[in-house]
Amino acid sequence: MTELETDVLVIGGGPAGTWAAVSAAAAGATVVLVDKARCGSSGPTAHGAISLWHIPPGPARDEAVRRAHAHGGGLGDAELMYRVLEETYQRIEQVARWGYRIATDPAAPATRRIYLDGAGYLRRMRRGVREAGVRVLDHHPALQLLVDRDGVVAGATGLRNDNGFERWTVRAGAVVVATGGCAFLSGGAGTDVDTGDGLLFAAEAGAELSGMEFSCAYSLLPQGNAETSALRGLGLRFATLYDESGAELPGHRSAALAAIADGRRVFAGLDDGQAARTRPARQGIADRAKRVPLRAVLGGTVRGTGGLRVTGPECATTVAGLFAAGDVVSRESVTGAVSGVDGLGGAWAMASGVWAGTSAAKFARTADRRAPAHEVPGAGLNAVARIDPRAVIGLVQEHTLPLRRSYWRSAGSLRDSIGELDGMWPGAEFDLGGRGVDLLRARQAAALLAVARWTKYSALMRAESRGMHRRTDHPGATDTWRVRLNSGGVRSVWVRPEAPRTMPRQPRDIVA
Ligand SMILES: Cc1cc2nc3c(=O)[nH]c(=O)nc-3n(C[C@H](O)[C@H](O)[C@H](O)COP(=O)(O)OP(=O)(O)OC[C@H]3O[C@@H](n4cnc5c(N)ncnc54)[C@H](O)[C@@H]3O)c2cc1C
């Protein structure tokens, strides 16, 4: 049994967690970071090139905010977008000073994004974390939060999965959860660790969520190649896409996904140069006509925007002592109803990591670490397993992965999914469990099920189509629904529209 005490505990060592850890340490806190795999080499960022917004103050930034706000269906918060852009701009300058080479996209200089090699960036972040004096515990998945008698978060507990599955406990003055989103084990590169664990243990402690209906963005991957990253990593990003009739798909990715959802086959066409350079061609995935057949892979809340509701730029959740950063947080304020992968997801991970780490360090200064604390009871943690986690995961995937369940939605299909997933919940709560690796799998299965239920309930309430949320029975967007949906609850799920006073600020309110 490992028992540690620290000012700030960071759970998750992707970009958000590493920025949180260095920022908490810079604010004078002692910091422990736990990761269920290896800090700095797990999660989607470690598996490809990422682009980030890098826009200097001035008209270009105003224009970027205006466009992103409109693109996000009006759910974003212009003031927060400006803050994210400014924070990221400063931090990227810091990354550049470390000697890390940052490439600008020559094809699209006006968009002012920078491209980072994700693996190198995270390796450097890990070094920065160690240099800041943070204690890093790899292969230490967190299972439950600790709270004191007032419900204030006071640490976490979990298992080591590299050494006999020994139990560990870290008592902390504040906790930052940075466990990433939930991709429902769909097979996207690096998303195997993104099983929604942090969403579940935070919700069990009473945290609220927001935007969980925006959990249905898909990536395009070459057929039959589970190990590859999305199109970007294959040099296919700029390839022309066709359907099986040979018709070019205008609008590129969205038209391709719509075609796959309609049951048509879709291909990326390679020119001679691409065919020679790209991995699919080398691996024989491209056919004689130099076409690569594509499939759609669900990104869940990783490429979606739903997650824990934070109350402002301090990144405090609705539970005292618990802060959150990166994909585990709802990014509606920044990306609205659309996916944030084109530069905003990584920018948010960076900015929210800095803010959550700094706020947690401040909170920890006044926290009473001598007050007794206990583990928050949770689902899937039973001593004896009576059901196989694979049965739970199979049901969750049946109701999330197919495009007919997530790309297109209707009240009928959502009600059907809710009925099935709710029916499984008591089993997950009381009959999932075990010891060692079985306990880890059981807990992940419970988290996947919990996330699936929040997404379905939220999608059912939003009776319109906005951004990535497409209702076949409500094809248009309406002003009534230009509102965020909060959700929560574990045994019984609830969803309600956010109070109007907290509605997002629009660009004209800020830039006038
Ligand atoms: C295909 C694809 C392409 C993308 N392209 C871009 C892009 O071009 N630009 C961009 O800005 N964004 C992009 N993104 C999004 C970007 O990858 C994420 O926004 C970013 O990785 C989020 O960082 P994070 O630290 O919040 O989460 P993650 O990177 O997912 O890291 C989560 C960490 O938490 C750990 N963890 C999970 N559960 C536990 C637990 N129970 N206990 C302890 N540790 C745990 C994991 O091991 C992992 O290290 C893309 C995503 C995908 C899937």
Count helices and strands in the chain by DSSP H and E runs? 16, 19
Q: Determine how many CB atoms are found less than 10 A away from the CB of residue 422.
A: 16
Q: Is the CB of 42 under 6 A from ligand 1?
A: yes
Q: Tokens for 205, please give them.
A: 């402690």
Closest among 409, 417, 193, 212 to 304, alpha carbons compared:
212
What's the confidence (pLDDT) of residue 144? 98
Tokens 């499984």, residue located: 424
Q: Atom 37 in ligand 1: which residue has the minimum CA distance?
A: 179
The atom of ligand 1 lying closest to the CA of 15 is 25
Residue 282 makes CB contacts below 8 A (sequence gap 6+) with: none
The predicted pLDDT at position 162 comes to 82
Sheet holding 240-243, edge to edge: 218-222, 291-298, 266-269, 240-243
* E-only strand ranges, 131-273: 135-137, 142-148, 153-159, 167-177, 209-210, 218-222, 240-243, 266-269
Paired tokens of 55: 């826009």
**What's the pLDDT score for residue 445?**
98
User: Quick check: CB of 35 below 6 Å from ligand 1?
Assistant: yes
Instruction: State whether the beta carbon of 44 lies less than 6 angstroms from ligand 1.
Output: yes
Phi first, then psi, for residue 341 (nearest 5°) are: -70, -25
**Contact present, 113 and 53 (Cβ < 8 Å):** yes
Say if ligand 1 is within 6 A of residue 16 CB: yes
Q: Given this model, what pLDDT does residue 454 score?
A: 98
DSSP collapsed to 3 states, 237-254: CCCEEEECCCCECCCCHH
Q: Is the Cβ atom of 178 under 6 angstroms away from ligand 1?
A: yes
In short, whether 341's Cβ falls inside 6 Å of ligand 1 is yes
User: Hey, what amino acid is at 26?
Assistant: A
What is the predicted pLDDT for the residue at 491?
96
Residue type for position 2: T
Per-residue pLDDT of the chain (512 residues), as tens digits, is 889 999 999 999 999 999 999 999 999 999 999 999 999 999 999 988 788 888 888 888 898 889 888 888 889 999 999 999 999 999 988 887 877 666 666 665 655 677 788 999 999 999 999 999 999 999 999 999 999 999 999 999 999 988 788 999 999 999 999 999 999 999 988 999 999 999 999 999 999 999 999 999 998 888 865 445 555 555 566 678 888 888 888 767 888 998 998 889 999 887 766 666 666 555 666 776 778 889 999 999 999 999 999 999 999 999 999 999 999 999 999 999 998 656 788 899 999 999 999 999 999 999 988 889 999 999 999 999 999 999 999 999 999 999 999 999 999 999 999 999 999 999 999 999 999 999 999 999 999 999 999 999 999 999 999 999 999 999 999 999 999 999 999 999 999 999 864 555 666 555 43
**SS3 category, 410:** coil
Residues in contact with 68: Cβ distance below 8 Å, sequence separation at least 6, in sequence order: 76, 81, 334, 335, 336, 344
Residue 85 Cα to ligand 1 midpoint, Å, equals 19
Q: Which of 81, 194, 214 to mutate to test the pocket of ligand 1 (most atoms within 8 A of CB)?
A: 194
Instruction: List the 485-488 sheet strands across, edge first.
Output: 307-308, 209-210, 485-488, 494-497
11 lines ligand 1 (CB under 6 A): yes
Taking CB atoms within 8 Å and a gap of at least 24, the contacts of 490-499 are 490/200, 490/203, 490/204, 490/379, 490/450, 491/425, 491/429, 493/453, 493/454, 493/457, 494/457, 495/212, 495/457, 495/458, 495/460, 495/461, 498/210
Residue type, 144: Q
Q: How many CA atoms lie within 13 A of 292 on its CB side?
A: 32
- DSSP H or E segment with residue 291: strand 291-298
Q: Which token pair is 53?
A: 């917004």
Spatial separation of the C-alpha atoms in residues 22 and 391, rounded to whole Å: 40
Cβ proximity of 443 and 472 under 8 Å: no
The Å distance, Cα 329 to ligand 1 centre, comes to 11
Ligand 1, from 184, 302, 448: best to mutate by most atoms within 8 Å of Cβ? Answer: 302
Which residues are CB-neighbours of 59 under 8 A, at least 6 positions away?
none
Which residue has its alpha carbon closest to ligand 1 atom 50? Answer: 341
